[in-house]
Amino acid sequence: MFGNKRIACWMSEKKSQKVKWAEFEQVCSNYGYELFKLDLEKDIENQGPFSVFLHKLTDIIALANQGDAKSKNTINLVENYISTHPEIIVIDPIPNVRQLLDRYKAYSIIHATDLHKHGVFTPNFCEITTSNNQKTVEELNAACVTYPFICKPSLGHGSKKAHEMLIVFNEGNLRDCKPPCVAQAFINHNAILYKIFIVGDQYYFVERPSLKNFHASDQKTIFFDSSDVSKADSQSSLSVLDLEDEQIPKTRPDPIILGKIACTLRKAFKMDLLGVDVVIENFTGKYAIIDVNAYPGYDGFPNFYHALLKCIVDQVNSGINTERKHNLKVDCLNIIKTN
């Protein structure tokens, strides 16, 4: 019935549980595609042919990078299969996803774009690779990372540990940082974050809770789990503004700037499924990109499965390889309109 219009999908059990499979299958079918879950425990060839491979393999790639033999084998099998079937559209290409597993690499890619022309920046950042505090002080100074800073594990995705963070307020507590990690200057933004969700040439943004304002002081390091802070229903005590900060005027995000960020980062990372976390700095009104995620949750994205299928069909119809496609794309993405 579908010929080779088949979409193979793989994601972790955790993510799979959040998918509305019946609805997703129906939307695929409306576009003339059959959707099936690829079983990576079984021979891939026997489950083919398929024309599209949609995946979130971040957990497995992260485990493979840490030396886990089973995960290494799985990724090898997937990569070999893809290389012997170059006609398959992979969303997103594995080498491109890999870049996002390393926060330092991801921030460096953002920093190298021309977004600064639009009042957009990545907060100053550097890697912390040693427990030698003197060396760390030098690295922080060289990169102009001031206090307080957020210390994030270098691994950006794919394990619970990737989301264990700290806010460091002074040099005296540098020992709390456990390398390998990235120090990123803390940007005061009145506890409001914007998540830009990108699906091919479409994007949408939602407002989320975030961390309150902090200032350099002699206070102890704050340890937190990032997954408790900026989900739609998060109610972290770290998000409650100090009384004096409640008066700071709220800046409305400019959809044109958010669109410019979406378009630029889609090209820079050469990926179709991206989440970008942005905060607007108090008083300067500048936009700080603090995090980029592969295949995010899309919580709040209207008609996500339709957008995804449109993205898939666009890729299939473009008839040229993914690498070139992102360079050829027009200069802006389309914001998803709600009624």
> Which SS3 state, helix, strand or coil, does residue 84 take?
helix
Q: Write the CA distances from 102 to 43, 105, 106, 258, integer angstroms.
A: 30, 5, 6, 23
Binding status of residue 56 toward ligand I3S by CB under 6 A: yes
What is the side-by-side order of every strand in the sheet holding 89-91? 34-37, 6-10, 52-55, 89-91
Residue 103 within binding range of ligand I3S, rule CB under 6 A = no
Q: Is the CB of residue 228 less than 8 Å from the CB of residue 219? A: no
How many whole angstroms separate alpha carbon 8 and alpha carbon 12?
14
- Choose which of 277, 298, 311, 315 interacts with Mg ion (CB under 5 A): 277
- Of residues 169 and 203, the one with the C-beta less far from ligand I3S: 203
Residue 15 binding ligand I3S, by CB under 6 A = yes
User: Binding site for 1D-myo-inositol 1,3,4-trisphosphate: residue ranges?
Assistant: 15, 56, 163, 195, 293, 297
Whether the CB-CB separation of 214 and 169 falls below 8 Å is answered with yes
User: Pick from ligand ATP, Mg ion, ligand I3S, none: which does 158 bind, CB < 5 to 8 A by kind?
Assistant: ligand I3S
Q: Does 210 bind ligand I3S (CB under 6 A)?
A: no
Instruction: Give 87: exposed, middle or buried? Use CB within 10 Å, 0-12, 13-18, 19+.
Output: exposed
* 15 contact choice in ligand ATP, ligand I3S, Mg ion, none (CB below 5 to 8 Å, kind-dependent): ligand I3S
Is position 275 an interface residue for ligand I3S (rule: CB under 6 A)?
A: yes
Which CB atom, from 74 or from 190, has the smaller least distance to ligand ATP?
A: 190
- For position 236 contacting ligand I3S by CB under 6 A, the verdict is no
Residues that bind ligand ATP (CB under 6 A): 123, 150, 152, 156, 163, 184, 186-187, 193, 210-211, 226-227, 229-230, 277, 279, 290-291, 293
In the chain, the amino acid numbered 295 is Y
Give the 3-state secondary structure of residue 91.
strand
Residues found near Mg ion in the complex (CB under 5 A): 277, 291
